[in-house]
Structure 1
Amino acid sequence: MDEIIYSNQGDQNFGNPTGGNKKLLVIVLAVVAVLVVGALLYWFLVDRGGEIVNNNPSNNPNNINNMAVDQEALKLQKEIEEKNKVVGKIFLEPVRSEIAKGQEFTVSVMMNTGGVDISAGGVELLFDNTKLEAVKVDNGGSVLTIGAVKTIGEGKVEIIQGQPADGNWKDSDDGFNGERGLLAKVVFRAKVIGEVAVGFNREKSKLIFDDGKGTAMKVEFEEGRYTIK
């Protein structure tokens, strides 16, 4: 009877790979390792790093915009505080005078800008029209050369003058910056004997900063009092 011989060569090949199979396995494992390491590096350096960069206030576009807005707001607040310290003055010359009944006399409207530049000035003068008559307004010698408004009404005179300016209220090379600047002159006629005042409508009497924004400064007023004999 023939002897049957069983071969386990296939099992041996399965459990003990040949040299070629070993090389293939090593290559596969190396590729997998490279892919895993690459993925980890990408996550760490790109995705995670990107999050860190975006969370950095100095690089976040929204934060940069907010910082710019905050700086502009601080600059504006500082400018407002500086302007609030400026006090101008509108006054009349002469402040006191005696006039004969029926006589005409001239009152000059003067401006003190408080040491800064203005681009416009205006007043509304108020008076008792039973005692005084406003005859005319003369703005020929005004330090603000452009006459915008010059009207005479019942018991009031309105004057507004302007000047081309550069928007820099701290300079003195345009507009007007000074202690005694003529806005305009008003000629009155004395109608009856007695005391009469020429004052200001304070809501409509203003000096405007040369800031390009039309900002009115704080203003003090000195009215005139006249005796008609």
Structure 2
Amino acid sequence: MIKFTLVLFVLVSGALFLFGSSASAQNGTLFFSPATGSFAQDDSFWVNVMVNTQGEDVNAVAAYFTYPEDKLEAREINTANSAMTLFAEKKYGQGRVEISGGKPTPGFSGIQQIASVLFRVKSSSGAATLTFASDSAVLTDAGNANILNLVASGKGAYVLKAKSSASSSPTPRPSSSVSPTPTTSSQPAPSSFPTSQPQFSLSDVRVDTITGESARIAWVTSEGANSVVEYGPNKEYAFIVLRGELAMEHQITLENLSPQTEYHFRVKGTNAADKELQSEDQVFTTGALQTQQGKEEKGIFGGRGLFIGGIIGAILMLLMLVMVIARKRGESSLFSQE
């Protein structure tokens, strides 16, 4: 088993070295799910490492990323739900996680999970950022070209906080029974403050366009926020699409969908203050695929006006030609009589 792992490591590493810089459209991305969150000291949480091949068939992925070792402790890598079946690396420590492996031809495509990583929060404040390293790669099945767009790949940003003191507050609560009146009497001033400051909101969630293989989701936020769509055949939302840039008007196109299939989805947005909102579950159904034969029929019969117009034009041209020939024959007969 050790020998097999070593051979696989050499093969994957060699492929990354030889073909990592091959010229190809770099549309593939790596991202984390969830990409944001707030966790208290000593909390443990899982982060899914995801890949979006943008429809390309890929057979190898190297997902290397860094984390702040003073704030987070990596504790476990789980690949039970991975799209890859062979692994060369599953390492973590010293502020870096390394996961690489592949799947034999034809590989896999679309939005897929690479692995899940378990972290424990060490710090009681600050933020922890997960960032993919420049030696990461996503290799195509045909040609082993590296299609990873590192700039477009997502980051993980997590807010860290101290343990909640609520667990120790039940005992002082009786003594604080005197304080409710002062606190409520002093609250009116702050309570009037939010009325002058608009609250972060998410609205107008809609499906703009639906085809047999895609659907465009659009929505609006009251202030700049990232764009997240979670979707799938049920409310477990097996897939996720994320855009990290902040915007108020959001549009995300879901691709590689199955025709005539019902999908559940919800949208999310996190603003600069790390406040997250999400919509209710919504449903759409993709249309039927339009066959090539259908397209040809539409070209002939759908453009019936043009088709008939062309026939009439041809008939008129033919009549004019007949008249010209007849006229010339008439003239020649006159000359012959003279």
Q: Counterparts of 2:77 and 2:148 in 1: how far apart (Å)?
A: 25
Superposition map of 1:44-123 within 5 A = 83-84=24-25, 86-123=26-63
Q: 1:144 offset after TM fit, Å?
A: 1.1
CA–CA distance in structure 2, aligned partners of residues 206 and 107 of structure 1: 19
- Cα distance in 1 for partners of 2:127, 2:62 equals 26
2:153 aligned counterpart, secondary structure? strand
Instruction: Report the AA paired with residue 191 of structure 1.
Output: K
- Which of the residues 68, 78, 93 maps onto 1:153? 93
Q: How does 1:112-151 map to 2 (within 5 A)?
A: 112-151=52-91
Q: Which residue of 2 aligns with 1:221?
A: 153
Aligned to 1:190: 121
Q: What's the TM-score, normalizing by structure 1?
A: 0.57
Rounded to whole Å, the distance in 2 between the matches of 1:204 and 1:105 is 26
Q: Which runs of 4+ in 1 moved over 2 A?
A: none
Letter of the 1:156 counterpart? R
Cα distance in 2 between the residues matched to 1:156 and 1:176: 26
Secondary structure at the counterpart of residue 222 of structure 1? coil
- Alignment-mate amino acid for residue 184 of structure 1: A
Q: 1:200 aligns with which of 116, 123, 132?
A: 132
- Aligned partner of 1:222: which letter? G
CA–CA distance in structure 1, aligned partners of residues 119 and 56 of structure 2:
31
- The residue type paired with residue 175 of structure 1 is G
Q: Which amino acid aligns with 2:116?
A: K
Q: What is the deviation of 1:120?
A: 0.7
Equivalent residue letter for 1:121: V
What SS does the corresponding residue of 1:175 show, helix, strand or coil?
Answer: coil
Unpaired runs of 5+ in structure 1? 1-79, 166-173
- In the alignment, the residues of structure 2 paired with residue 143 and residue 91 of structure 1 have an alpha-carbon distance, to the nearest angstrom, of 15
Match of 1:175 in 2: 107
Q: Which structure is larger by alpha-carbon Rg, 1 or 2?
A: 1
**CA distance in 1: counterparts of 2:32 and 2:135, whole angstroms:** 16
1:115: Cα distance to partner?
1.1
User: What is the Cα deviation at residue 94 of structure 1?
Assistant: 0.5
Paired position in structure 2 for 1:15: none
How far does residue 218 in structure 1 lie from its aligned partner after superposition?
Answer: 3.5
CA distance in 2, matches of 1:218, 1:190: 30
Q: Distance in 2 between matches of 1:226 and 1:199?
A: 12
Higher relative contact order (CA 8 A, sep 6+): 1
Please state how far the C-alpha of 1:156 moved relative to its aligned partner: 0.3
Which amino acid in the other structure matches residue 190 of structure 1?
V
Q: CA deviation at 1:200?
A: 1.0
Structure-2-length-normalised TM-score: 0.39
> Hey, what's the Cα distance between the residues in 1 that align with 2:107 and 2:138?
11
Question: How far did 1:123 drift?
Answer: 1.2
Which amino acid in 2 is paired with 1:181?
Q
- In 2, are the aligned partners of 1:89 and 1:112 still within 8 Å (CA)? yes
Distance 1:192 1:90 in 2: 26
Structure 1 vs Structure 2 CA RMSD: 1.4
Give the drift of 1:125. Answer: 1.2
Do the aligned residues in 2 keep the contact of 1:139 with 1:147 (CA within 8 Å)? no
CA distance in 2, matches of 1:123, 1:90: 8
1:130 is displaced (CA, Å) by 0.3
